[in-house]
Structure 1
Amino acid sequence: MTEYLMKAYDISDEIKNSDNYKKLIEALKIIEVKYQPLVDDFNLAKEKYYTVLSEGGKYHPDYLETVKKLGFAKKALYEKQEVTDYFKLEQEIQKTLNEFTIQITEIVSNYIKKPNELGLLKEKGGGCHANK
């Protein structure tokens, strides 16, 4: 098992040395510096939203106002080009990881569940596959 973990760390290092990962980290640094007030506003709105949800959900008196504020804060942050680029890079890295997982599982066995395009596990047929 230790050997597998060492190989996993090697693969992780390869991914972290890729252009997409380096761009992702750079985009995150830019977002943290350039848009910190927007990030703070979004996090506060999200925190308030979860508080309202836990205290009464959609029946809470502040629910509609809180949902609107969260929507505005999210829109203000997510419409920035650097944030959009960050999420695109994140999706590319996730796609690479999913493809890698699919290839490994297919090499080991066709009967092991593997993620689909969305990263969700595909169902495989049940039953015994001992004779196959």
Structure 2
Amino acid sequence: MIATMEYVTILDDAEELGRVVFDSDVMRDYLEKKASLEQDKEAQKLVKAFNDIKEHYDDIQRFGRYHPDYQEIMKKVRSTKRAMDMHESVAAFKVAERNMQSLLDEISEVIAFSVSNQIKVPKDGALLTDSGCSSCGSGGSCGCAS
């Protein structure tokens, strides 16, 4: 492929957009909350406990509800996840993460729609919003009404 001025301009614009996103308040908040979460010893213990029980859960999942420890592990997974999600640092990080995902979804949508309104734009954060998945981009295969 021969590089033309149009390609060079597109690449320059993409780099500039990346810099703008990286310098945004949303990104700063995300990085701040991530660092806070990584430095919070109690939060890290909760995350580790959840990952450990999830690993055990994955082993049991092979047999499903027929495994003798299935009910016990399911209760432990839910309670461990709840404890982790309710921790202040984890909750703040998840909010910042959703905000970052929302910003990236909006940027993707603007870029796609600048090409054509017919383009389906996948939205990784669509399940986290009130709008459901009406614009998930899967063509309705997930059961939504897109």
**1:36, distance to aligned residue in structure 2 (A):** 1.4
Displacement over 3 Å in runs of 4+: 1-10
**1:43, distance to aligned residue in structure 2 (A):** 0.6
**Paired amino acid for 2:72:** E
**1:67, distance to aligned residue in structure 2 (A):** 1.0
Give the Cα separation in 1 of the matches to 2:96 and 2:13: 24
**Paired amino acid for 2:46:** L
**1:122, distance to aligned residue in structure 2 (A):** 6.2
**Are positions 1:49 and 2:57 aligned together?**
yes
Identify the residue that residue 120 of structure 1 maps to in structure 2: 136
Matches within 5 A, 1:5-84: 7-34=13-40, 35-54=43-62, 56-84=63-91
Q: Identity of counterpart residues, as a percentage?
A: 30
Unmatched runs of 5 consecutive residues or more in structure 2: 127-134, 141-146
Give the Cα separation in 2 of the matches to 1:80 and 1:9: 36
Give the Cα separation in 1 of the matches to 2:64 and 2:57: 9
**1:46, distance to aligned residue in structure 2 (A):** 1.0
Asked which structure has the greater RCO (Cα within 8 Å, sep 6+), the reply is 1
Give the TM-score normalised by structure 2.
0.71
Q: How many residues were matched structurally?
A: 123
**Paired amino acid for 2:55:** E
